[in-house]
Structures are given as C-alpha cells and as structure tokens.
C-alpha cells in the first residue's frame, strides 16, 4: 500500500458503496458541461472535480504545476509533466478531499465552481493519441486465433514466446464511451463464389483489452531499459479493439490487420493511474522460458484487475465474459522495453493496447471469435436470443475493477452501441 493511501481515509464527498471512484482512485478524464465548456477533471463517487478550476483557485500550489497545464481539451500537457508531478498531484488530491480537511470543504463558493455531478457532464476522449500500438500479449488468445485462422500450422508462431508481438493501429478512429460504432463496409470473400465482394461485415466483434498511456519516454534512437519503463507509464484504460473478422481474414496477409480493425477503437474515459493500481500488483504467469536480457525486469509484476463484458440486447444485460488482466503473458514494462529496443520514439499520449485478454477457460475468452469458436457455437443472451457476432443495436459494456484488503477502485464503464452501416458511396459522380 502506498503511503498516501490509507484504507481508513474517507472523503467529505459522498461516495456510493459500490462506486469505482473511491478516494483510492482519482482517475483523470476530460468532460464537457452542458454549456459546452470542456475541462480536465478527476472524480470522486459521482462528483466530477474540475482540475483547472482547482489550480486557478490556488488549491494546487504545493504541486507547482504550470498554470496552463489543465487549460487544454486533453490531458497530454499534464502527462508530459512526468512521474514526480503525477505523484504530487495525487497526494494533494487525497489531502484536499479527506474528510478531516476543511480548506475546500468549507468554501461553498469554490466547491460550487469545482464540483459538478457526473450526470451533468459528457465524458470526452481524455487524450490526443499520437501513435497507437496494439500488442498481442495473451498466450491463450494468440493460441485460439492461430487454431482458427491457421488450422494446419502450430497455433503459436515461433516468435511469440520470445517477444511481445505488436502492430500499429490507427489513432484517428479512437473514440470513447457512449459513441456509436457503425458497422463497416469492406471486401469480404463470398462463401459460394469464393470471390471478394463489397459488403457490410457479418462478423463484427469486440476484443476485450486494456491500454496504457505513456509520457515522453525517450529520444529517437534511444531504447528505454526494461527496469526504467514503468516510470514512463501514466495510467490505464479499458479498450475495445472492434474487429470485423471477415474483412480481417481476407486482407491480413502478409502485412497484418488494417481495415478489419481501423474503423474504431474505443477506450474508457477515465485513466486510472499506475499509482492507484499500485495496491493491486500481482505476479506474472510463469513463462515457458527465459526471455532475452533486455526483457528481464527485476521483480516484474502485473495487475489483478477483474474484467467483465456485457451485451445489452432488448434492454436486458448478459455478462458474456469474466476475465482478468493478470492472465497476460508479457508485462507493460516488457512491452515498452521491446517497443523501444530499436530506438522507436514514444511520446506523451501514446496508447498501447494489451491485445485481447483471454484466460484458459471459455468464459474468459476475450472476443466473440473465440466465444463462438469462429461462428460455430451460439452464445446465449438473457433476452432469449443468441449471437455469434454482434447485431445492430447491441450495446457492449466493458468494466474493470480491483479489490484487495478493503480497498477498491475501478475504471467505470466503456459502453458503445452498434449502428447499421452507411450505404455504399456513389461512385458514379465525376470529379
């Protein structure tokens, strides 16, 4: 337990019993008020706390932040301040909102300008993502996909146990909770004619992932050592790597997934910091063999984060996945060390997805591809319908929660609804 986190700490702000946003959390986000004002914020219970206002009114003097650090519409500027400032702000927030601290508690006017009910704001994407990388760090997921996509080969490629395999994703289509996901068009091979045609995906899928967000980690040409990597990781989000399996299957050789993935990636609006996650460290799975020296971290660890995915259909919610972040084979330190071993530059606001998180039992598989075993098994929902892949109007909800020794934090919800695709573009008009 970190020294500023005392589990007895209580806040003067009301925190509902089951809230993810306890005084042990203090995640960061960006919200828009009904008057259109956009603000960097944190959250306690159901109260959103305006960080720019807190700074302007002098409550953060001890943290010595630049006065414009929260004036933008993303958290990138704050993330660029680095680990010491992140820790200092967290510590200060825990103090200000402690029930024994009266400075803001008893200043009604300041409280009103700083605090807003969560129901009065809309959450926005909290960062301007520079580059987005997606890893492939679940052994169970990689094995399952290999069995389905390449049935005549060993499921795991020979490189998989030697390095955290990854590929680049698309930053321009990263969205957050409540945004609709439009069913994409693409080239799909017709089962009967065996030729590709343009059609809406019939295999729209989710991937249960988490992502971490980095600060400025290095210069071009300079690897980040595995034992220092953790210093450059700001926090984590839930991530849904939306996938169109039929588009992906046809296009992905030899250069990897492209249009089967880049129509949308959604991340949860609250970034839970690594400092808040500190209480929930746990061991990594045992590795089959020792990795190369640059991937060996002293006392490496991962996090115990319970993950769930629901599908809401006809207003009824069915939990289809129960999984845990700790199943991943490679740690975030190993991922960042590998990503930079060739000198690749990592900036503040870069996003690194974990890859689909699957456990060993079927209920923990992190995609419909795996749950329906490539469409061959039906997934039963509580409204009496079944799914192999997603249908229009389905709402997918991801949640992540940590609990240990009476301390509890969570990521809130990442919820997105599927909408039908747009008609094909009219290609008859001349330019």
Half-sphere exposure of 137 (CA within 13 A, CB side): 30
Does the annotation place 136 within a ligand binding site?
yes
Name residue, tokens 């970190």.
2
Minimum distance of a second copy from residue 89's CB (angstroms): 21
Among 150, 287, 322, 380, binds a second copy (CB under 8 A): 150
Distances (CA, A) of 114 to 31, 67, 109, 239, 240: 13, 16, 9, 29, 31
CB 411 within 8 A of CB 237: yes
Q: Is 317 left (phi over 0), alpha (psi -120 to 50) or beta?
A: beta
**Minimum distance between the CB of residue 65 and a second copy, rounded to whole angstroms?**
24
- Identify the H or E element spanning 281: strand 281-282
Tell which one of 58, 151, 254, 406 touches a second copy (CB under 8 A).
254
Min dist CB 195 to a second copy, Å, is 8
Q: Is residue 252 annotated as involved in ligand binding? A: yes
Tokens of 245: 């399996």
Task: Tell me the pairing of strands 265-267 and 174-175.
Answer: parallel
* 82 interacts with a second copy by CB under 8 A: no
Site residues for a second copy, 269-308, by CB under 8 A, read: 292-294, 296-298
What number of CA atoms fall less than 13 Å from residue 40's CA on the CB side? 22
Name which of 114 and 337 has its Cβ closer to a second copy: 337
Binding to a second copy by residue 8, rule CB under 8 A?
A: no
Helix (H) or strand (E) run with residue 143 in it: helix 139-149
Name residues contacting a second copy, limited to 338-397 (CB under 8 A).
338-339, 341-347, 350
Is residue 207 a known part of a binding site?
A: yes
425 binds a second copy, rule: CB under 8 A: yes
d(CA 341, CA 226): 9
Q: Is 230 in the site for a second copy (CB under 8 A)?
A: yes
* Stretch of 100-108, 110-118, 242-250, 367-375 contacting a second copy, by CB under 8 A: 242-250
Does the annotation list 340 as a binding residue? no
Question: How many residues make contact with a second copy (CB under 8 A)?
Answer: 82
Report the distance separating Cα 166 and Cα 61, nearest Å: 41
Could you give the CA distance from residue 43 to residue 29 in angstroms, rounded to a whole number? 8
Provide the H-helix boundaries in 257-331: 274-277
Beta strands 281-282; 302-303: pairing state: antiparallel
- Is 325 labelled as part of a ligand binding site? no
Instruction: Rank residues 179 and 304 by Cβ distance to a second copy and give the closer one.
Output: 179
Q: Which strand (E) or helix (H) includes residue 332?
A: helix 332-340
Q: Whole-angstrom Cα distance, residue 64 to residue 92?
A: 11
Interactions with a second copy, residue window 114-143 (CB under 8 A): 130-131, 136
Please tell me whether residue 258 binds a second copy under the rule CB under 8 A.
yes
Binders of a second copy in range 322-341 (CB under 8 A): 337-339, 341
Backbone angles phi, psi at 100, to 5 degrees: -85, -5
Q: How far is residue 172's CA from residue 406's CA, in Å, rounded to a whole number?
A: 40
59 vs 234, which CB is nearer to a second copy? Answer: 234
Measured at the CA of 365, the angle between CA 248 and CA 207, to 5 degrees, comes to 40
Instruction: Tell me whether residue 32 is annotated as binding.
Output: no
Shortest Å distance, C-beta 297 to a second copy = 8
* Residue 405 interacts with a second copy (CB under 8 A): yes or no: no
- The residues annotated as belonging to the active site are 141
Q: What residue has token string 């609006």?
A: 269
Nearer to a second copy, 12 or 167 (CB): 167
Q: How many angstroms separate the Cα of 22 from the Cα of each of 17, 43, 161, 212, 370?
A: 9, 9, 38, 21, 34
Q: State how far the Cα of 337 lies from the Cα of 332, in Å rounded to an integer.
A: 8
- Among 1, 102, 393, 424, contact with a second copy (rule: CB under 8 A): 424
Per CB under 8 A, which region of 51-59, 247-255, 363-371, 390-398 contacts a second copy?
A: 247-255
Q: Please indicate if the annotation marks 361 as binding a ligand.
A: no
State which residue, 339 or 408, has the beta carbon closest to a second copy.
339
Q: What is the footprint of a second copy within residues 162-201 (CB under 8 A)? A: 162-163, 165-173, 175, 182, 184-187, 196-198
* 209 labelled binding-site residue: yes
Nearest approach, Cβ of residue 80 and a second copy (Å): 14
Q: Which is nearer to a second copy, 73 or 347 (CB)?
A: 347
Minimum CB distance to a second copy smaller for 343 or for 363: 343
Binders of a second copy in range 205-224 (CB under 8 A): 220-224
CA distance 28 to 126: 8
- Please state the residue numbers annotated as binding site for Ca(2+): 134, 207, 209, 241
- Please state the residue numbers annotated as binding site for Mg(2+): 241, 261, 265
């Amino acid at each position: 337990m970190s020294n500023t986190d005392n589990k007895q700490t209580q806040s003067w702000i009301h925190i509902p019993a089951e809230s993810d946003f306890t005084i042990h959390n203090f995640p960061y986000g960006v919200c828009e008020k009904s008057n259109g004002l956009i603000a960097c914020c944190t959250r306690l219970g159901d109260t959103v706390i305006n960080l720019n206002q807190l700074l302007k009114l002098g409550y953060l003097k001890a943290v010595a932040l630049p006065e414009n650090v929260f004036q933008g519409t993303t958290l990138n500027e704050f993330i660029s301040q680095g680990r010491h400032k992140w820790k200092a702000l967290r510590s200060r927030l825990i103090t200000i909102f402690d029930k024994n601290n009266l400075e803001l508690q008893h200043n009604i006017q300041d409280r009103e300008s700083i605090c807003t009910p969560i129901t009065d704001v809309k959450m926005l994407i909290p960062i301007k993502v520079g580059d987005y990388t997606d890893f492939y760090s679940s052994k169970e997921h990689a094995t399952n996909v290999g069995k389905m996509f390449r049935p005549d080969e060993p499921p795991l490629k020979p490189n998989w146990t030697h390095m955290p395999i990854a590929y680049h994703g698309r930053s321009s289509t990263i969205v957050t909770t409540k945004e609709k996901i439009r069913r994409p068009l693409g080239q799909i091979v017709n089962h009967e004619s065996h030729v590709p045609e343009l059609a809406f995906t019939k295999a729209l899928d989710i991937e249960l992932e988490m992502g971490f967000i980095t600060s400025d980690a290095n210069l071009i040409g300079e690897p980040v050592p595995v034992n220092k990597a953790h210093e450059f990781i700001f926090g984590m989000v839930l991530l849904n790597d939306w996938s169109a399996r039929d588009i992906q299957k046809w296009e992905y050789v030899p250069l990897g997934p492209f249009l089967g993935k880049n129509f949308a990636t959604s991340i949860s609006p609250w970034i839970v910091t690594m400092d808040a996650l500190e209480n929930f460290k746990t061991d990594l799975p045992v590795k089959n063999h020792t990795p190369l020296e640059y991937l060996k971290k002293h006392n490496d660890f991962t996090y115990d984060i319970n993950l769930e995915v629901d599908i809401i259909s006809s207003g009824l919610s069915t939990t289809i996945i129960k999984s845990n972040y700790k199943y991943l084979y490679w740690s975030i330190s190993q991922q960042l060390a590998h990503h930079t071993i060739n000198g690749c530059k990592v900036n503040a606001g870069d996003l690194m997805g974990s890859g689909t998180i699957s456990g060993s039992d079927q209920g923990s598989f992190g995609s419909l591809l795996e749950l329906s075993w490539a469409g061959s098994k039906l997934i039963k929902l509580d409204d009496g319908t079944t799914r192999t892949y997603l249908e229009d109007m389905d709402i997918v909800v991801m949640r992540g929660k940590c609990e240990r020794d009476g301390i509890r934090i969570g990521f809130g919800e990442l919820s997105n609804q599927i909408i039908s695709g747009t008609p094909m573009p009219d290609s008859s008009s001349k330019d």
